[in-house]
């Protein structure tokens, strides 16, 4: 299944050619161990968490009338959705140095007053996240569903074609 999906012989996870895997692993390890990468990662994660904290505070304060003291606010929210957006944003920033604006997008869904980021940036981020999730689902699909089913059972064949086009 990984051959069909274009995942074998590339990278680390699905690679079954030892020489290529070893080279990729050394490169990957070298990048992750560098102090510059570690500093960048810590700063990026902290910056994103401060933004997340600001969103939570903003949402919590909108429910408290005449709140002059910024420390008196409460928030009831779906933490799993926020964590999903935060994790996606953090991984995107660390891997590509580009934001997906997942946190801002989720904030915009929670509040009538939108964040300062342009709608196009937030929408592009949402499209990227959806494509990434579809890709991960496709990878799982190709690992779990046999070749015969993917090629000869009509409904499953349509799903396989959808994932291949993504």
Q: How far apart are CA 122 and CA 120, in angstroms?
A: 5
Which one of 1-5, 53-57, 70-74, 107-111 scores highest in mean pLDDT?
Answer: 53-57
> Minimum mean pLDDT among 30-39, 68-77, 150-159: which range?
68-77
Residue among 81, 87, 105 nearest 48 (CA):
87
Would you give the distance in Å from CA 64 to the centre of its chain? 32
Q: How confident is the model at residue 53 (pLDDT cuts 50, 70, 90)?
A: very high
> Minimum mean pLDDT among 29-33, 118-122, 136-140, 150-154: which range?
118-122
pTM check: above 0.95: no
What per-residue confidence (pLDDT) applies to 50?
96
What per-residue confidence (pLDDT) applies to 66?
62
Token reading at 68: 């002059």
Q: How confident is the model at residue 71 (pLDDT cuts 50, 70, 90)?
A: low
Q: How confident is the model at residue 142 (pLDDT cuts 50, 70, 90)?
A: confident
Q: How far apart are CA 120 and CA 118, in angstroms?
A: 5
Beta-strand runs (E) in the chain: none
Instruction: Give CA angle at 98 (94, 101), nearest 5°.
Output: 105
> Minimum mean pLDDT among 5-14, 74-83, 145-154: which range?
5-14
Q: For 97-113, what is the mean pLDDT?
A: 82
């Amino acid at each position: 299944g990984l051959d069909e999906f274009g995942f074998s012989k590339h990278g680390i996870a699905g690679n079954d050619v030892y020489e290529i895997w070893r080279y990729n692993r050394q490169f990957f390890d070298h990048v992750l161990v560098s102090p510059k990468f570690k500093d960048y990662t810590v700063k990026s994660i902290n910056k994103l968490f401060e933004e997340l904290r600001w969103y939570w505070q903003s949402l919590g304060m909108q429910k408290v009338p005449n709140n002059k003291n910024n420390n008196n606010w409460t928030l009831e929210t779906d933490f799993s959705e926020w964590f999903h957006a935060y994790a996606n944003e953090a991984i995107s920033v660390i891997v590509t140095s580009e934001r997906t604006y997942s946190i801002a997008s989720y904030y915009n869904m929670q509040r009538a007053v939108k964040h300062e980021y342009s709608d196009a940036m937030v929408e592009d981020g949402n499209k990227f996240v959806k494509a990434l999730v579809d890709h991960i689902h496709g990878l799982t699909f190709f690992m779990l569903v046999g070749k015969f089913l993917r090629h000869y059972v009509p409904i499953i064949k349509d799903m396989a074609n959808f994932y291949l086009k993504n």
